Homo-oligomer: A and B are copies of this chain.
Amino acid sequence: MFMFNKLHRTAEELIRHSGGRVTVGRIRILSVLLAEQQAITHREIEQRLPQTLQLDRVTLYRALEWLADKNLIHKVTSDDRAWRYHANRELHTHQHAHFKCTRCAQMICLDDLPIERSWPLPAGYRFQEIELTVKGLCADCS
């Protein structure tokens, strides 16, 4: 309860600070992501939202897009065609790698992994960013 209220207020503050409209949907969504240490899918976010809050699929998609635009969250691609979302902490402001369990599909950020090395490209190619996913078995699955 107490934790929830704290997260709720944190989320509200972050959203208000970003200059958008403060809606209960956005607050609840960001709260869910702040409470989670993993990167989770649209579906998983839906399941973690309070039952009392009825929220359309599309609204959830648009809220997530908005939160990502405002740099409050980031989204990660995966081989199962589903984006995964995670709240931004200070650690996450720079580029970082991710780990995905090939058995349970859980995905975590690997904040310690330095990936800022120079990646040599063919002549004429210009580097923008890197996407790195280590795959294997998580502690629970191995």
Contacts and interface: CB of A to CB of B under 8 A. Distances in A.
A113 interface: yes
A79 B131 contact: yes
Given A77-B79, A120-B112, A121-B99, A130 B135 contact: yes
Contacts of A102: 128
A2 interface: no
A96 to B, nearest CB: 12
Contacts of A132: 130-133
A138 B125 CA distance: 5
A3 interface: no
Interface residues of A, number: 33
The count of identical subunits is 2
A62 B126 CA distance: 35
A124 B110 contact: no
A112 B119 CA distance: 10
A136 B131 contact: no
Nearest to A114: B120
A139 interface: yes
Given A81-B81, A128-B102, A136 B113 contact: no
